[in-house]
Structure 1
Amino acid sequence: MNALLVDDSRLARTELRHLLQAFPEVTIVGEARHAAEARTRIAELRPELLFLDIHMPGETGFELLESLEAAPHVIFTTAYDEYALRAFEVNALDYLLKPISEARLAASLEKARAQRLAPALATAALPDEPAPAPLTMQDQVFVKDGERCWFVRLSDIKLFEINGSYTQIYFEQHRPLIPRTLQHLEARLDPKVFFRANRQQIINLKWIDSIEPWFSNTLKIKLREGPEVEVSRKQSVLFRELLSL
């Protein structure tokens, strides 16, 4: 993938260039210090991927995108978290907060690879659709329930719970509903962190406050600042196997 780095900070561009050395599939074709320069570079170099800062002299990163007839795939790189929702409204691949970690950068590039492969996969006669990229604990996910929206880090979600034909998400004081099944979520979540306690619930192991034996050799788990969850008999056996020395 050919990439263009757009940031008014030379230090930020240097740090990102250094991080990208760990990913040989990415070729940095150029840099730009502001939107006007980026517009010229995009026309000249035709990058497939844009690492784009938001606050820059003159125009913002959003204004740059609005001015382009056809924009590359975009990964925002910024020190501000308040623009995350707007970033996903313009179909950004990801939103990286500075300082950027190699793990978060790797997850973003996985999304870029998936987008790059999507047209070929759509036309290929494959028996099954490719599985979506797995999420890490540091990933942030967009959640919408009615007119309310959140951009929440997975590590802050303590529980996923079936509620009718929806799944309810527990984080902070919020309990939004999303039109996803637990099976879909389970396939995307890290199994070392998120555990399917029963048919109705997936818990974040990092939020466990206490565990106690329950009826018929099952377990009852209390989550910090949250509800108690009864683990099914089958999953209680698995839980002990997974977390025992």
Structure 2
Amino acid sequence: MAPPLTALIIDDEPLARQELQYLLDAAGDVNVLAQVSNGIDAVDQIRTLKPDVVFLDVRMPGLDGFAVLRKVLALDKRARLPEVVFATAFDQYAVRAFEVNAVDYLLKPFDASRVVKTLDKVRARLSATAIDRAADRPHEPVPELAPTLRVTESAEDDGDFEETVTDVAAGSTRGTIAGIVAGAEAKLDALLRMIERNGQPLRSGKVVVRTQNRLLLVDQKDVCFASIEEGRISVVTNTVEGDSNCRTLEELMDQLDPEQFWRAHRSYVVNIQHIREVVPWFKSTYQLRMDDRKQTEVPVSRSQTKRLRELFNL
């Protein structure tokens, strides 16, 4: 009987991590070695724990999912990356722009049956990799870095444009270590370019706010701030306060204009146009007094203090 898969969950949203942990536990035969909340710790844990698979958030503050993989390669040029499953809040059409064969993706909010299919793909790839490794020059170990990334872009007329990045591991015996690393990084770069070109979610300019059994469409410019507490996301304007239909702040941020909205704190997203006052706080920290009816005070995390100073030349 094959040993259970070893896995890391890397996501800056606690609820997303907990949800995925629950689904992996329910799927069975998966040992989650750790949950990681940021890219810097993710690099250390990947190198230390060497999991079979990482479930990696695409967008995280600091090092994003792609930067994590680049950093692992940069720190150890002989590293073999684990199987990578990207987690994203992009919609299905956007996901098609960077669908990956040998890696995989999970769309937020996660679906139990989709998680099971992803685990089947991971196991199949690990099995195939083990067979290839045993058959290919067993006495001359070959550095294995990144799996093949196959990126498919769908045009509006459904004509398929396909960009396939060559698998460097398969030809690694014929190249230098430097060449292998460069090829692996090139694959990551190609995937990132595709996302930047085609993977951005559509923004309607409206935010759905659920209040008193009604679903209101609120203009983004009217949103003062949004916050999350115990899994509930509240959206506040000058006239309306209600719940978002999003499950994470990251998912909500994907719908908002990044030029106007800022993740000032782990639990808060603010509209910079609705900041009424910057209030100095203890130990060189700040709070934001918003212009909603309650003049809510929103904390600024230490990691975002520099961004605050840049925004307002403090």
Which TM-score applies when normalising by structure 1? Answer: 0.49
Task: Select the structure with the greater relative contact order (CA < 8 A; seq sep ≥ 6).
Answer: 2
Which TM-score applies when normalising by structure 2? Answer: 0.39
